[in-house]
Chain A
Amino acid sequence: MSEAVAQQAKEQEPEVDLSIADKVIDKYIDLPGNLMPVLQGVQDEYGYVPRKVADYVAERLNVYPSQIYGVLTFYAQFHLKPRGKFIIRVCVGTACHVSGAPRIVETFFDKLHIGHAETTPDLRYTFEKVACLGACGMAPLAMVNDDTFGKMTVQKVDEIIAEYNQRPMK
């Protein structure tokens, strides 16, 4: 029965602390059109939007769970799977492409053993190809969270990974 399937799916999700979501929801509960800020808020807190949190937001805001899922899938900024502590973005826009971005991307793939929009099992890295980060003068360009690395080379990939491997996870 479908209910049982849904129940099973819910149970397979890791436990999440809903009191964190409560804090975000409490902040916006009286605001008209509060769905987007709440979803952005919970994503900031959990790093992604876990299913249990989405269902909980639906219950507290009195919005259909399906509608929340519609919003979550409409916008690329929302993530439904856990993301890495460090988000590595490599630009594959025109300027970076001609300056060798594909090789940078390949190197990251090889070193991290993940592909585009994937996350390492230890949740340290998520890798993304992006189209233009708006700093073509520094091509080829990579970013790790908010840190920028211009004039990327294959050697620099090793240096970046070595450096961020040292960083604490918490």
Chain B
Amino acid sequence: MVNLTIDDKQVTAPKNSTIYDAARINGIKIPILCHDKKLKPFGACRMCLVEVEQMRGRQVPACTTPITEGMIIRTSTPDIIKARKMVLELLLLNHPIDCPVCDKGGDCDLQNLTYEYKVNANRFSDEKFHHAIDYSNPLIERDMNRCVLCGKCARICDEIVSFGALTFISRGIETKIGCEFEGSLNCEFCGSCVSVCPVGSLLARPFKFKARFWALTNQKSVCGYCGTGCNLTLGVKDNKVLTTVYDENQGFHNGQLCCRGRFGYQFINSDKRLTTPLVRKNGTLTEASWDEALELVAARLKGAGSSAAALATPRLTNEELVLFKRLMETAGSANYDHSAGYAHAALTEGFAKSFGAAASPATILDIQKSDLLLVIKTDSYETHPVIGFEINMAVKNKGVKLNILSDKRGKLSKLPDAQTLVHTPGSEVAVINALAKTILDDKLAAGTAAAIPGYADLEKALAGFTPEAVAGQSGLSSDAIKRLARDYAAAEKALILFPIGNAYPGHNADLASAVANLALLTGKLGTEGSGVLCMAEKNNSQGAVDMGFYATRGLNAGQIMDGCASGAVKTLFVAGENPVVSYPNRAAISAALDKVEFLVVSDLFMTETAAMADVVLPACSFAEKEGTFTSVDRRVQHIKPAIGKIGQSRTDFEIFGQLIAKLGGQAPATPATVFGEIAASTPGYAGMSYASLGETGAFAQVAVTAAFVVPRTVAVEPAAGKLALVTGSALYHNGTQSQFGEGPMYVCPEGYVELSRTDAARLKIQENDLLNVASAIGSTKLKARITPRMPEGVLFSPYHFGAAGVNQVWGGAPVTWVTVTK
């Protein structure tokens, strides 16, 4: 700690602090415009000038000057006030005073400072700028006339988002912020630039002219898209979520959000929301009362036994999932599952065997504390963008080494010194086995490894996985495999990350076992900055696993679908899932759902699946309910309703509770009661209560009982003349729900197929050509996107879309062989 005097007050601050930080932690306010705690010090605006006695009273910027022992600082002498006033006068020289029509009014740093420093006249005069306002996209408006050149937008886009869409253009008085060749924004649309803009230069257009900042009620919540568990502040007015409000002190991510988190909230108040229960009468869904609908469902479920089955989306709260399970048990059925059944296998089978717990023994916070990251598939950025930001910051700010093992390149591959090994699709388990084999052969395994059960079996099973043997099938050089293995083993702290989800069929139990073996072999587990993080797709995927909402005694999702087709399953209750779009092989799923006698769907929207139902129940979004979500790293967070329920919709908690009551069971009254039960019975959740979760949530501990498990590998045989199609997630979407968000649908409105430049040239395909993609099970038409990231012979397509869905050609195999014609 360093001792110093600020404004005649004796204070201490940690070494390496700046004057600004030292003042802030001691409760002394220094005004800033260009400084942001998440960004590197910049010192552009000169608002934070202070006097330092040791520097002979010179005025220095507080945000860039480090403190020294005994420093005597004055933050608001008459000279300083005068200097700051002049800074404001100079800024206001070019800044238009259009506050009445500026959306930033009330939330504008420049406005607030002008008010605070009473700058009511200007001694200078100059012309205002006449830059054209960029209205070219519906999400972010850029008005460079209001810009104060603090550079925060360009800096955050580089330092955290690592996209670099914005930069300083030109020089001197002509300097402005813009994109290359003065073009329009063509970026990820995460809105980070909007969130940090101190003035009205960058505005969120969906929120424009909706409300004044001070008229909003800020409701804290947790994002309802992916499993990262980002905290959100929803700006609410008149029972409508009008925007997401940036709060730099919120969550581990300091308020940082991705496109769907920041711009995808519109589904909550969408006019497409279901508002009344619907019952199929004479073939058409017609409005009905809740009593009528629930009676019908209860009558079907009563005593149904194993002829009833349930599928839930892992977007439900933990409490709802527990209640749904109880409902099925009351009906006498053990047939329930989520995420298409296979998408949680990495946790429920893989980690359950390798670690003795169906959860990841690492947290998101480990990313920046590690020395080396091994990311399986560049898609980790696409599936969990805010985790991607953590990786960006780890690599760029902390010098963490980044190794990527993927079937294509991606944004992560562009990070400084990132090593990307692009393997042939479907060979990841073999490559990871070869890494383990190298570690064994080079005697790099930790001393503790041999004592872990299954060591001898693993050693034997890996015999065939020499880097040389795997090099052929994976398309990698044996040297590259060896180098990666040695780097991983040599790193003091190493973390492995991989995404799982509905469209990642290859990311299964075997992949989980394979990476677990690596961590166990080298002992990179259980310490800060080390471990394995399996990133499940939806906001409560880990919770669904923790609540045991998957097949243990009954049928899994795949078997339930088969049961529907064969007639063994007569009643299917689907809560929030949209199997028609998100499960593999659309034709088979549609046929199965057609066949099932009675289909109940509770959902927010009339999805493709809901349209086939006999009873549709309008459910509530995350913004209307209470409960807990568990993130990928088992952070349990409490959400409270931000708005009242839309129309007659009810929460799934109420729906399941009322059905349990109708079946003669005893339903718990509130989610809080159920959370109490969860805390008492779920491993790792012991002792948790709403109060103990607080605003930041609490981690459910993962107790590891290690074992080596030999992963199975499936050889992917190339099909002559065909291309390998891999499926996955688009950066802007998550599941099928983001189709109802304005932001995601603007940036990525429809399905597409990405292909390499070489394949495009060979097949004479141009960008945006409509391609017919055909596999053994069907075909669909998708627009072509030609990108340098795809290797030759490999295609990529995201799965989120109802129209022209990729599950019309994809049957659930890790690699689908397809032909592409124009």
Contact = CB atoms under 8 A, between A and B. Distances in A.
Interface of A: 1-3, 5-7, 9, 51, 54-55, 58-59, 62, 64-70, 73-74, 80
Interface in B755-801: 767, 788
Given A59-B788, A70-B169, 20 more contacts: A1-B137, A2-B137, A2-B184, A2-B185, A5-B136, A5-B183, A6-B183, A6-B184, A6-B186, A51-B181, A66-B154, A66-B166, A67-B164, A67-B167, A69-B180, A69-B181, A70-B168, A73-B170, A74-B170, A74-B171
B720 to A, nearest CB: 32
Nearest to A63: B164
A81 to B, nearest CB: 11
A73 B171 contact: yes
Given A5-B183, A59-B788, A66 B165 contact: yes
A90 to B, nearest CB: 24
B258 to A, nearest CB: 18
Nearest to B413: A62
Nearest to A55: B180
A26 B502 CA distance: 42
B646 to A, nearest CB: 30
Contacts of A1: 137
A33 B136 CA distance: 34
Contacts of B183: 2, 5-6, 9
Contacts of B93: none
Nearest to A4: B768
| Chain B interface, DSSP helix/strand/loop, else mixed | loop
Contacts of A67: 164, 167
B414 interface: yes
A59 B414 CA distance: 10
A120 B110 CA distance: 46
A118 to B, nearest CB: 19
A55 B183 CA distance: 13
B244 to A, nearest CB: 22
Most-contacted residue by chain B among A54, A64, A74 (CB, 10 A): A64
Nearest to B189: A2
Contacts of A54: 180-181
B164 A64 contact: yes
B179 interface: yes
B136 A2 contact: yes
A58 B179 CA distance: 13
A69 B170 CA distance: 9
Contact of A68 (B137, B180, B414): B180
Interface string B344-366: 00000000000000000000000
A51 B178 CA distance: 16
Contacts of A5: 136, 183-184
Nearest to B749: A1
Most-contacted residue by chain A among B163, B170, B185 (CB, 10 A): B170
A1 to B, nearest CB: 7
B184 A70 contact: no
A7 B137 contact: no
A2 B137 CA distance: 6
Closest 7 CB pairs of A and B: A64-B164, A70-B167, A66-B167, A69-B180, A65-B180, A2-B184, A73-B170
B181 A2 contact: no
Interface string B156-178: 00100001111111110000001
B179 A66 contact: yes
Interface residues on B, range: 20 to 34
| Chain A interface, DSSP helix/strand/loop, else mixed | helix
B767 A64 contact: no
Contacts of A70: 167-169
A51 B183 CA distance: 11
Contact of A7 (B167, B168, B178, B767): B767
B818 to A, nearest CB: 25
A64 B167 contact: yes
Contacts of B154: 66
A6 B181 CA distance: 10
A54 B180 CA distance: 9
Contacts of A64: 158, 163-165, 167, 180
A66 B136 contact: no
B122 to A, nearest CB: 29
Nearest to A68: B180
A2 B180 CA distance: 13
A101 to B, nearest CB: 25
17 contacts: A2-B137, A2-B183, A5-B183, A51-B181, A54-B181, A58-B180, A59-B788, A64-B167, A65-B164, A66-B164, A66-B165, A66-B179, A68-B180, A69-B167, A69-B169, A70-B167, A80-B181
Contacts of B171: 73-74
B181 A9 contact: yes
B169 A73 contact: yes
Nearest to A71: B167
Interface string B136-167: 11000000000000000010001000011111
Interface in B410-439: 414
A80 B180 CA distance: 12
A59 B179 CA distance: 16
Nearest to A3: B186
B39 to A, nearest CB: 16
Nearest to A65: B180
Most-contacted residue by chain B among A65, A66, A73, A80 (CB, 10 A): A66
A56 B181 CA distance: 14
Given A69-B169, A70-B167, A62 B414 contact: yes
B186 to A, nearest CB: 5
Nearest to B172: A74
A64 B186 CA distance: 12
Contacts of A3: 186
A7 B136 CA distance: 14
Contacts of B414: 62
Most-contacted residue by chain A among B167, B171, B180 (CB, 10 A): B180
A53 B179 CA distance: 16
A74 B169 CA distance: 7
A2 B186 contact: yes
Nearest to B163: A64
A154 to B, nearest CB: 34
Contacts of B767: 7
A23 B504 CA distance: 41
A58 B788 CA distance: 13
A66 B184 contact: no
B170 to A, nearest CB: 5
A70 B170 CA distance: 7
A23 B426 CA distance: 36
A49 to B, nearest CB: 10
A95 to B, nearest CB: 26
Interface string B109-140: 00000000000000000000000000011000
Contacts of B137: 1-2
B422 to A, nearest CB: 16
A3 B767 CA distance: 11
Contacts of A65: 164, 180
Contacts of B184: 2, 5-6
